[in-house]
Amino acid sequence: MNYYNVVMTYNNELRSNRSNENKRRITECAMQLISEKGFDAVSVSEITEAAGVSKGSFYTHFSSKEDLIEQKIRISYEDALLSADHSRFERLEYFLTKSLEHIKNGGLKMAQVWFSHSVQGSFYGKSKLDYDRARISDILGDKRLADEVVSVYYGALNLWCFTDGEVEPEKIIMDHIRKYKEHK
């Protein structure tokens, strides 16, 4: 490899690292601002200012605030999917366990904000619900059953939020899944 190629490779890697770092900062700042103020009350300008990047940098990575949320959800939960060689109940239990882990790792306050937004019909809340309904429906292959599972899942999470963490949603959700498995 000649000197020119070495320099170009180094510059490209440096740009890529900087771009990835900008995307990470944008996402972190957006999630922090949204948890504090609500999705609808946060502008792209506020996000870019908090992240210390230009609007152009934001739009290099995301087409909109909604796109940022959709990408965040997709990336955060892609580790929650098992391959089809597992039973549908194994895949469902794994998805719900991982999803709960992500939510609990975000903290009770963030979950409470998310539920508040969901009730208000905000894109932020609705996009996670849509994602969960689609994934659970894909796993179970039965939309009616998926909606039932989502109802129990969201009900348990809602109870966890309303009781300030006193109720353990995992137990409620997994007990429901076990009961369903016994009847099948």
Helix and strand numbers, DSSP H then E, in the chain: 9, 0
d(CA 180, CA 31): 35
pLDDT tens-digit series, residues 74-86: 776 666 566 667 8
Q: What's the pTM?
A: 0.66
Q: Read off the pLDDT band of 7 (50, 70, 90).
A: very low
pLDDT tens-digit series, residues 122-152: 666 677 788 889 989 999 898 999 999 999 9
